[in-house]
Structure 1
Amino acid sequence: MPSKYDAIIIGSGSNGIAAAIRLQEKGLQTAIFEQAATPGGATRTSELTLPGFKHDVGSAILPLGLASPFFRKLPLAQYGLEWVHPEVAYAHPFEDGTAYACYKDLARTAAQLGEDEQAYLKLFGSLLSDWSKIDNDLLGPIGIPDHPLAFMKFGLKAMPSAQMLANHYFKNERTKVFFYGSAAHSTLPLTNIASASFGLVLTTGAHKYNWPFPKGGAGNFTAALLEHYRSLGGELFLNNPVIDVRDLPNAYAYLFDLTPRQLLRIKGLNFNSLYRNRMENYKYGAGVFKMDWALSEPIPFSSEKCRKAGTIHIGFSKEEIEESEKEIHKNNISGTPYVLVAQHSPFDITRAPEGKHTAWAYIHVPNGSTIDYSGVIENQIERAAPGFKDTILARSKMNTFDLQEFDPNLIGGDINGGKQDITQLFTRPIVKLSPYSTPDPRAYICSSSTPPGGGVHGMCGFHAAEKALHDHFKELM
């Protein structure tokens, strides 16, 4: 190990690797230090249930992995990455056995919606046509947008609550429920300001890129990123927890793929008391309770549209989803929660032994909850897929404590690196001109606790690397 690097990255999640690649691309000598034996943060794959059944332990469908302005430019196919594109990006079942499907084809999607067809085309058609103008600004810190008019048009739609936007654009309850399915990824009450933004971004992304996933497991996405990083001359050190920055080799810059609570525990950083106090007030969001199953057959959804979807959103009415997402912030949980389901094996035969299948799901729960919610999850899926329970060969359960043990960045089971409400959506981790820099001129934050927040897109790492380049290596910009 050299005694000095240009930059050191602490943490090998997608943002940490993105930062390292960006700096290495510029000719700097970098190294990643990872506390775990396996790199990737929450983007890893493992046999959680039975031998031969590959489960994504954290992230499972990576809608922003391909949509990321940085990742999609990298030659990851050279390192074995293959994207699987189900015919349906996501589907939303109803209790009568029917469903709505989000296809990549905007018109095909809208054609299902009856009286809401034209409203859907108007809403997402304009966003889709402007997407290439606004995606860089949406997935970055607050600044002067490259295309102010297009960005302002998006902002006017994104600032209301999901409830308000759905009621404004759509007449049919089923269309509103369909939109809620993607908006509820925010992990916020759907009456919260700006909760609509998540539904708009994710659905527009589905029409632009689909919601693909890596063949063989999400861990293959991490593997391809790291192979590219190594090809540029980067180094990775596993089983290297960082307690004191002074134990690391010397470097001009240290980029931390950590949340605020973890960063404040690192010794040797020159943080003043004001900064520490503000960081200690950073808010973490709801957690998740996650399950994986080994199955004897595909999930027997009543709707063929659900059987063709990689992701299924389960919540059978507006009121059911609204109640589910509201209750978790009161330290309660609904008896019929909103459930996110992912199924890979119907489209990727490498995920399970021949003739067998896998499934993955989670619900939002109070941060830090250790209650076993497996029964309510399986009951909800059973409503959309009668006979589902009979297909279960084995199951894996992970509560919020288990998830944090798996990846310390998942504080209390929060998969977004902090609450993404209006107070922290654009100004995370604190209100600051540069959210990536700290009072210590050597230290930067590159985790999902900085803009643009959660998701496997690497843009937090990319923007943090750009800031470090500007501060210490201007000649390379």
Structure 2
Amino acid sequence: MSDAVVIGSGPNGLVAANVLADAGWSVDVLEAQPEPGGGVRSDRGAHPDFVSDVCSAFYPMGVASPVMRALSLERYGLRWRHAPAVLAHPLPGGRCAVLERDVHRTAESLEELGAGDGEAWTRLYRRWEHIGDDLLAALFGPFPPLRAGASMAARLRAAGMLRMVRFLLSPVRRAGEEEFSGPGGRLLLAGSALHTDLSPESTGGTAFGWLLTMIGQQYGWPVPEGGAGELTGALVRRLEARGGRVHCDTPVTSVVVAGGRAAGVRTACGETVRAGRAVLADVSAPALYGGLVGWEHLPSALRADMRRFQWDLATFKVDWALSGPIPWSSPGAARAGTVHLASGMDALTGYCADLATGRVPGEPFMLLGQMSTADPTRSPSGTESVWAYTHVPQRVTGDAGPDGITGVWDERESTAMADRMERLIERYAPGFRERVVDRRVIDPPAFQRHNANLRNGALNGGTSAPHQQLVFRPVPGGLGRPETPVPGLYLASASAHPGGGVHGACGANAARAALRADGPLGRLVVRPALAALRRGAHRNSGTRGPT
């Protein structure tokens, strides 16, 4: 019997295990797949000579997160690599907005696209320098962020705080219009906001766009040398150095509840793995509630709340092996690790409108990664390892394009969607298709087969919209905390606050909650207080819903 069992070896699960091991706990991590990592894995699936990242690839939050930085993974073999430029958004006609590592060079790029926009970008970055550390601490720490929130409020004072909150809550289209005269800064913010499932008109979109671009300005958007799997490898090596163990090919089928507490887990082969202190679940909320934990152990209101749980959008991805670099019409795009492709703000809105109505976008917004540009070890000299993904509806009602895609994602539909993406790249880089040596298509069902937590490629553990954030994540009554209605069981996945992204905060918050609850103060004060709060929240939420 170990002190803790962690279900799932994604980055949150491995971070949770490391935090517990640092505290002296014995930890077993159980992973259903043949290798650890969840969405942080790499392979040679597109071509034997090319390294491809299966899901996530660039890690701005990984280098900025206080949680990940505290683990000092560089001591365990992790080496970060950076492309010459962070992010590019090419425009029709050869112009291009470029987020550089140097704020003055970014400002120069944006000034060429709109008078005064260089100073506007610098002003936004000065705002970040003023509160960025406190904001990251507030975002990635437990909710509510009392200490970091107080520090940020003191820095901004009353009037400044209100202006900052207004800015962060603004739709990214509106914030871009207020801050910039030209398209460059607007699109850098909006494209970054659309890494989530928000639209340019969504409340709070600016918070995501500003956060990602400012992290990029300060830290870059780096990649692990050798592939995403090297980040997982460093987490595993660090854990094993502290006595923790990772068991692959070990699917968990249920959480064992005994005496009103989580006492361990049961695996697919029928083995019971006991946990003396805690069980931490790096799985989606729908997989945990009513799945690994039966409804008989949960409040009736939670079942109704989970019926309303909203997934984020599905994902469609293509990996390419190219004989040479992408022949961009915009030279700035050739220097960037990440490239956003959309003709303008209205195209982003149209794309999101298609998604909102269940249609596969006819002109998809694409996130593209030039991996060899960032890390030359990814492919032979002179070639390029590339991926791009776009979002599609979880439930397809029609196709806004010409191919009649229905969402069955058979070979015809997946080929048609991949060809649609290639035609869009060709528009900005004539000759792209001539350089394709091979490609791999990862459609929504393939994401889910790779990792059951990625429902059709839902990468963020549930929508990023305000109605499922903070105290509403994953459901109202969760108090924005990793504790669950079952004592000793903690939600450690992206379905918990603060949500998606490879930052490790969901896992670290769950581990710290388990440590607090196991201490004398936790047993006497914290556990009873949280139990009372949860009971009150679930009572107040009502009990209507399926039975």
Contact 2:12 2:504 in 1 (8 A): yes
Contact 1:184 1:325 in 2 (8 A): no
Question: CA deviation digits over 1:137-189, x for unaligned, max 9?
Answer: 02243332241425746433211111111111112133322322212112211
Q: Which residue pairs with 1:455 in the alignment?
A: 501
Contact 2:96 2:184 in 1 (8 A): no
Compute the RMSD of aligned alpha carbons.
1.8
Say yes or no: does 1:294 pair with 2:294.
Answer: no
Contact 2:446 2:456 in 1 (8 A): no
Q: By how many angstroms is 1:465 displaced? A: 1.0
The residue identity in structure 2 corresponding to 1:301 is: W
Q: Relative to structure 2, which stretch is displaced further, 176-185 or 458-467?
A: 176-185
Q: By how many angstroms is 1:335 displaced? A: 1.9
- 1:80 & 1:475 partners in 2: Cα distance? 38
Q: Which residue pairs with 2:545 in the alignment?
A: none
Q: Which residue pairs with 2:151 in the alignment?
A: 147
1:383-422 to 2 correspondences below 5 Å: 383-422=427-466
Question: CA deviation digits over 1:436-474, x for unaligned, max 9?
Answer: 111110211010011111111000111111111111235
Q: Which residue pairs with 1:344 in the alignment?
A: 371
Q: Which residue pairs with 1:111 in the alignment?
A: 108
Contact 2:278 2:488 in 1 (8 A): yes
- 1:154 & 1:41 partners in 2: Cα distance? 35
Question: CA deviation digits over 1:322-342, x for unaligned, max 9?
Answer: 111221121113322111000
Q: Which residue pairs with 2:60 in the alignment?
A: 63
- SS of 1:48's equivalent in the other structure is strand
Match of 1:258 among 271, 283, 295: 283
- 1:326 & 1:139 partners in 2: Cα distance? 31
Match of 2:344 among 311, 317, 336: 317
The residue identity in structure 1 corresponding to 2:145 is: G
Structure number with bigger Rg:
2
- SS of 1:185's equivalent in the other structure is coil
- 1:415 & 1:267 partners in 2: Cα distance? 23
Judging changes above 3 Å, is the alpha-carbon distance between structure 1 residues 182 and 434 closer, same or farther for their aligned structure 2 residues?
closer
Match of 1:276 among 303, 328, 334: 303
How many residue pairs are counted as aligned between the two chains? 474
Q: By how many angstroms is 1:16 displaced? A: 0.5
Contact 2:5 2:280 in 1 (8 A): yes
- 2:438 & 2:387 partners in 1: Cα distance? 12
Say yes or no: does 1:86 pair with 2:96.
Answer: no
Q: By how many angstroms is 1:268 displaced? A: 5.9
Q: Which residue pairs with 2:27 in the alignment?
A: 30
Q: By how many angstroms is 1:204 displaced? A: 0.8
TM-score normalized by structure 1?
Answer: 0.95
1:206-285 to 2 correspondences below 5 Å: 206-246=216-256, 247=266, 248-251=272-275, 252-264=277-289, 265-267=291-293, 270-285=297-312
The residue identity in structure 1 corresponding to 2:136 is: D
Say yes or no: does 1:126 pair with 2:127.
Answer: yes
Question: CA deviation digits over 1:106-150, x for unaligned, max 9?
Answer: 222112222222222212221133211221102243332241425
Contact 2:88 2:99 in 1 (8 A): yes
- 1:458 & 1:330 partners in 2: Cα distance? 33
- 2:280 & 2:520 partners in 1: Cα distance? 17
Q: Relative to structure 2, which stretch is displaced further, 223-232 or 132-141?
A: 132-141
Say yes or no: does 1:6 pair with 2:3.
Answer: yes
Contact 1:429 1:435 in 2 (8 A): no
Gaps of 5+ in 2: 257-265, 267-271, 396-406, 527-547
Judging changes above 3 Å, is the alpha-carbon distance between structure 1 residues 347 and 439 closer, same or farther for their aligned structure 2 residues?
closer
Judging changes above 3 Å, is the alpha-carbon distance between structure 1 residues 111 and 268 closer, same or farther for their aligned structure 2 residues?
same
Question: CA deviation digits over 1:15-70, x for unaligned, max 9?
Answer: 01111111111111111011111100010001112212110000011111111111
Q: Relative to structure 2, which stretch is displaced further, 156-165 or 119-128?
A: 119-128
The residue identity in structure 1 corresponding to 2:57 is: A
The residue identity in structure 2 corresponding to 1:398 is: I
The structure, 1 or 2, with the larger RCO (C-alpha pairs under 8 Å, 6+ apart) is 1
Judging changes above 3 Å, is the alpha-carbon distance between structure 1 residues 283 and 127 closer, same or farther for their aligned structure 2 residues?
same
Q: Which residue pairs with 2:490 in the alignment?
A: 444
Judging changes above 3 Å, is the alpha-carbon distance between structure 1 residues 45 and 10 closer, same or farther for their aligned structure 2 residues?
same
TM-score normalized by structure 2?
Answer: 0.84
The residue identity in structure 2 corresponding to 1:249 is: V
- 2:515 & 2:12 partners in 1: Cα distance? 16
Q: By how many angstroms is 1:424 displaced? A: 1.0
Q: By how many angstroms is 1:475 displaced? A: 7.3
- 1:44 & 1:259 partners in 2: Cα distance? 18
- 1:329 & 1:347 partners in 2: Cα distance? 34
- SS of 1:101's equivalent in the other structure is strand
Contact 2:35 2:248 in 1 (8 A): yes
- 2:75 & 2:344 partners in 1: Cα distance? 44
Contact 1:137 1:146 in 2 (8 A): no
Q: Relative to structure 2, which stretch is displaced further, 60-69 or 169-178?
A: 169-178
Say yes or no: does 1:200 pair with 2:210.
Answer: yes
Identity %: 33
- 1:113 & 1:71 partners in 2: Cα distance? 32
The residue identity in structure 1 corresponding to 2:474 is: P
- SS of 1:363's equivalent in the other structure is strand
Match of 1:164 among 174, 192, 202: 174
Q: By how many angstroms is 1:301 displaced? A: 1.2
Contact 2:51 2:227 in 1 (8 A): yes
